[in-house]
Amino acid sequence: MATLDDIRAIVAGLRSSEERATTGGAAWFVRGKPFAWECHPWPSIPADMREIVATQLVVGVKVADKVDALALVEIAPEVFLRTTTPWSEPKVAFRMAEVDLDHLAELVTEAWRVQAPRYLRREFDGEDA
């Protein structure tokens, strides 16, 4: 089962990233933009999803577009939640207990890439600016 410490280890390798405590739990930012966060059972979440978020560790990440989020939910509905809140779209939320560490690293890294400025992405990819 993946943990928040696993996310912390992944984020440690992503330049200009920081963790902040929020009212909903831990959240990770790159240059002030959120890219991953611990989900909280807010009243605005549909009741069936709120029950999952209240009883399991669920993390949300930014994705490139809504199509990517929908594809993940279609491919692995046991891992990804169909919806949480309309805020911070496009995004996808997933059950930490159901995601393997390689997939977690991919999700967190891609979320960082969505929010990171171009110069950080180029540096990460080993490209010259």
Q: Judge whether 129 lies within some domain.
A: no
For residue range 18-61, list pLDDT tens digits in order.
Answer: 999 998 899 999 999 999 999 999 888 889 999 999 999 999 99
Q: 94-106 pLDDT, tens per residue? A: 999 999 999 999 9
Cα gap 40→50, rounded to integer Å: 8
Residue 19 corresponds to which tokens in the numbers above? 């963790």
The whole domain housing 28 covers: 4-124
> For position 61, which CATH number holds?
3.90.1150.30
What share of the chain has pLDDT > 90, as a percent? 83
Among the listed residues 41, 42, 12, 1, the one whose alpha carbon sits nearest the alpha carbon of residue 108:
12
Tell whether the model's pLDDT for residue 7 goes beyond 80.
Answer: yes
- Using the predicted structure, report yes or no on whether residue 129 has a pLDDT greater than 60: no
CB 7 within 8 A of CB 46: no
Task: Indicate the number of domains in the chain.
Answer: 1
12 falls within a domain = yes
**Using CA atoms, how far apart are residues 61 and 42, in angstroms rounded to an integer?**
17
- In the predicted structure, residue 83 carries a pLDDT above the cut 90: no
- Please, how many CA atoms are within 13 Å of residue 60, restricted to the half-sphere of its CB? 27
Would residue 72 count as lying in a domain?
yes
